[in-house]
Amino acid sequence: MVAVEIDERTGLSGKIRGAHLLPVTPEEVDDAAATAAAYTFFEAPAASQLDIDFLELINSLEEEMARNRRVVRRAAARDRAILVGVTTASLSEAEESMAELRELAASAGIVVLNEIIQRRASVDPRTVLGRGKLDDLLVRALRLGADLIVFDRELSPAQVRSISEATDLKVIDRAQLILDIFAQRAQTREGKIQVELAQLRYMLPRLIAGHDSAFSRLAGGIGGRGPGETKLETDRRRVRDRINRLEKEIEHQRLRRQQRRKERTRRGLPVISIVGYTNAGKSTLLNTLTSSEVLAEQRMFATLDPTSRRLRLPREQEVIVNDTVGFIRDLPPDLIAAFRATLEEISDSDLLIHLVDASNPRLRQQLESVERILGELGHTGIPRLVAFNKADLLPPEDLESILRQACQDGARECLAVSALDPGTLRPLLERAGAILARNLTLEEKPARYSVETGTMKTREGADDAEESASETGDERAEEAVAR
């Protein structure tokens, strides 16, 4: 950037002042000393006295910045992003939300180069950030070699267009990041269909944000008939057609699931569904209870497809245990709608085990988020048992305080477990069995279980009695129940 003084009387140039960025590594971008030396200035009394070869200067700066970007690429050949949070609430809430966005980015395989949080009286309806902060973000992205900007909120089509006009970098929001994670994790045909439907529903209103949107006025209406559809309108029509086909396929899958659930109900096996925030340890708990080998990793949405296993409780009660997809704060509505067929598995449950990560500092917000989503899905009437997982990571006094406060706040039935320690799970299973037995008594159903107290164990051949979200998995479960 160069500023030149002009003499208003003579029109001649006077003093010249200039500045340019200096190359920086990702490690230095938040360093105070490095930030102070992020720019360098130069000046001269007149243009004739400016002893700088600008072409050589620009080439050297670009080479150095490119070299820094190559170092980042060699370290991890993945997308490199800057995370952006804008809040009108407290900074502490924004920092907690940013920490969750960072976990989502890591789960999606993104290298996070930097984070920016701006607190504003109101969110800018056009660019979300203020104009000055947006310019600072773009400069920072240039210096770090970022190729992706991730916003910690859902962006409107107009906001995406406005930000994209200011930069060539790819711009996505929190909802799109979650959809991308789901697309990576989906394994079964049904899961892939559900994710594609959610992505198309998300994309459809944003097709108008493209550079071709101005041409939509050429088709239809007075003076516009005859030329046919524009490319934009053709794309929108194809997306709608694809959405209609996917919705029909999901409805077909939903009817098949409903039929299988009716068959299970006819055979009289109670159903326990493990629900909870993503990365709370649901799959680990299922593995420990049933000696299964469902994928369980320390990352968000490690598993998407619901899985079912048979389990024998301490009082010789035989049940089906479902591991469901994890929930998250501000789950995209399109995703909830697309996965409604899968989430219907919860509706036929006789008991919900709400698993909470007791070691997470945001556990209260996570607990409330799951309860809110269950309420939106209409599952508030199902008996619920709140289990605080990872109890082994907390001091006993802290764990006791968490349990006491959780029970008092929501009149919940709570207990502590460690999904990795089978010894801590017996109280959970005994309580689950008591709740199921009580429900059977209240409903005046004939007794189907003995009252003898047994030990926690799985039925022989549990691996053959599994039921997953896939077609073959469900068929195996039905055969196992029949046996």
High-pLDDT (> 90) share of the chain, %: 14
Q: Rounded distance, CA 210 to CA 191, Å?
A: 29
Of 30, 334, 140, 330, the C-alpha closest to 149 is 140
Q: What is the CA radius of gyration of the chain?
A: 29
**CATH placement of domain 79-181:** 3.40.50.11060
Residue 90 has pLDDT above 70, yes or no: yes
Of 103, 128, 97, the C-alpha closest to 330 is 97
More confident residue, 450 or 88: 88
Which tens digit of pLDDT belongs to each residue from 395-440?
989 989 988 888 877 667 889 999 999 989 999 999 998 888 877 6
Which phi and psi (to 5°) does residue 384 adopt? Answer: -135, 140
Residue 77 has pLDDT above 70, yes or no: no
Of 179, 419, 181, the C-alpha closest to 300 is 181
Task: Please state whether 187 falls in left (phi above 0), alpha (psi between -120 and 50) or beta.
Answer: alpha
Which tens digit of pLDDT belongs to each residue from 170-228?
899 998 898 888 888 887 788 888 888 888 988 888 775 444 433 333 334 343 344 44
Lowest mean pLDDT among 101-105, 154-158, 338-342: 338-342
Q: Name the E strands within 88-190.
A: 111-119, 148-151, 170-173
Global confidence as pTM = 0.70
Which tens digit of pLDDT belongs to each residue from 234-259?
788 888 999 999 989 888 888 887 77
Compute the mean pLDDT over every residue in the chain, rounded to the nearest whole number.
Answer: 77
Lowest mean pLDDT among 48-52, 97-101, 238-242: 48-52
Residue 463 has pLDDT above 70, yes or no: no
Which tens digit of pLDDT belongs to each residue from 439-450?
765 554 433 333
- Same CATH fold, 260-482 and 79-181? yes
* Fold of the CATH domain 260-482: Rossmann fold (3.40.50)
Sorted by where each begins, the domain ranges of the chain are 2-74, 79-181, 260-482
Q: Which amino acid is at 15?
A: K
Give pLDDT, residue 26. Answer: 56
Give pLDDT, residue 457. Answer: 38
CA atoms within 13 A on the CB side of 255: 5
